Amino acid sequence: MSKIQYDFGSGRSDPSTFPVAGLQAAATKVIAEQAQELTEYPGNLGHPGMRKAMALRESEREGVSVDPDHLMLTNGSMQGVTLSAEALQENHGDTILVEEYSYPGTLSAYRNLKLDMVGIPLDEGGMRPDKVEEQLERLSKENRLPKFIYTISTYQNPTGFVMPVARRRQIIALGQRYNVPIIEDNCYADVHYDGPLEPAFYALDDDPNIIYLCSLSKILAPGLRLGYIYAKPPMLDRLLARRSDAGSNTLAAAITAEFYKDGIAAHAKVANPVLQEKRDLTLQGLEEELGDICVWSVPVGGLFIWVRLPEDVDRQKLMAMSREQGVAYLPGQSFHFQRRDVPYLRLAFGHLTPDQISTGLPILARCIKTCRGSNEGRDFDSLF
């Protein structure tokens, strides 16, 4: 197999904006100043300075006050995904609601926990509340209400869509009507380019049944393995009780807290425009190369574009041929809650160079056209 030169597969930020000097300076300072704390176990909530910095991040974005003592630091948001599910699950086979297309890491964690996922169809506004209601009604009648609803409501992975505020309120109301907790995974939160900013679920309602997950992976780097859960008591206590890993890495947290001590805006102002340019370049390439046969999302933030392919593309052949020609992407199937082979693919543009985007996209487009059974024009106008 040939070497992958154009990796549209993995969702990472631009490595060139990783703030080496800023983190070096922060590390030198905190290792000297916090030596005592570094020799101790962090406890279940974790480094107080980092919780304070992340409470500031949240309250600045959401315009509501966030108590640092209700934040629990985790090993990436992925630990938040697993821990919250473990805390809410009672038995193997418990039902949960997820978006029909969702993050493969979460889907895999839920499969490992033997949760029974019910997929909710999406549209341009994310998870559809009418379908959530339909499922809650059905499951309630069957006496197996879901243990929780998991949603990536902002810059959804893989579609890139943002759920409008009215829809967020509807989903909160449904959660309350059926007494089902909501887990909002907001790991792309501050990777914003343009368009309206929608509030997090917790900013709309004080309900302790709302659990919020966030991360440093997409604004700084996934190698830090830093994320957090924000939840209010008594839910917070339930989550803390489920934890048994002695807390998360104090050194990474202390360095990051120092780096972000005045807020995250300064670094976001450097990192986001670089990503935005690459989003634009990818959209432009799609228009030029695939405008006649495909439809795609136009994300206002996050790292992904969701592309709908013509039905007559041989998807297995496409994957093999693209890889052979040095292009990687993730197929729609990876995101489907039941691994259904669907005519979509996801393009991640964050960590590629502009040159790789401009060269890689035409190669992918040629492969898509070669793997079709016809030369027909597009017979659909929307993503779903």
Ligand X SMILES: Cc1ncc(COP(=O)(O)O)c(C=O)c1O
Q: Of residues 13, 17, 151, 157, which one binds ligand X by CB under 6 A?
A: 157
Does 154 interact with ligand X (rule: CB under 6 A)?
no
Q: Which is nearer to ligand X, 6 or 150 (CB)?
A: 150
Instruction: Dump strand ranges (E) for 165-290.
Output: 182-185, 210-215, 227-230
State the nearest-atom distance from the C-beta of 10 to ligand X, in Å.
Answer: 8
- Given a contact cutoff of 8 angstroms between Cβ atoms, the answer to whether 174 and 135 are in contact is no
Number of residues binding to ligand X, judged by CB under 6 A: 16
Match 């190698």 to its residue by tokens.
Answer: 223
Handedness of CA 271, 272, 273, 274 (dihedral sign): positive
Strands of the sheet with 116-120, listed across from one edge? 71-74, 227-230, 210-215, 182-185, 149-151, 95-99, 116-120
Q: Which is nearer to ligand X, 70 or 225 (CB)?
A: 225
C-alpha–C-alpha distance, residues 321 and 326, integer Å:
9
Find the residue with minimal CB distance to ligand X.
Answer: 76
Q: Which is nearer to ligand X, 11 or 301 (CB)?
A: 11
Does 77 interact with ligand X (rule: CB under 6 A)?
yes
Stretch that binds ligand X, among 73-81, 107-115, 175-183, 249-257 (CB under 6 A): 73-81
C-alpha–C-alpha distance, residues 219 and 248, integer Å:
19
Alpha-carbon dihedral angle through residues 352, 356, 357, 362, given to the nearest 10 degrees: -150
Q: Which is nearer to ligand X, 108 or 370 (CB)?
A: 108
Q: Rounded to an integer, what is the distance from CA 19 to the centroid of its chain?
A: 22
Stretch that binds ligand X, among 65-73, 76-84, 119-127, 266-274 (CB under 6 A): 76-84
Does 219 interact with ligand X (rule: CB under 6 A)?
no
Q: Rounded to an integer, what is the distance from CA 196 to the centroid of its chain?
A: 18
Applying the rule CB under 6 A, the residues between 87 and 126 that interact with ligand X are: 103, 105-106
Does 249 interact with ligand X (rule: CB under 6 A)?
no
Q: Which is nearer to ligand X, 6 or 155 (CB)?
A: 155
Name the residues that contact ligand X, by CB under 6 A: 11, 76-78, 81, 103, 105-106, 152, 157, 185, 187, 215, 217, 222, 227
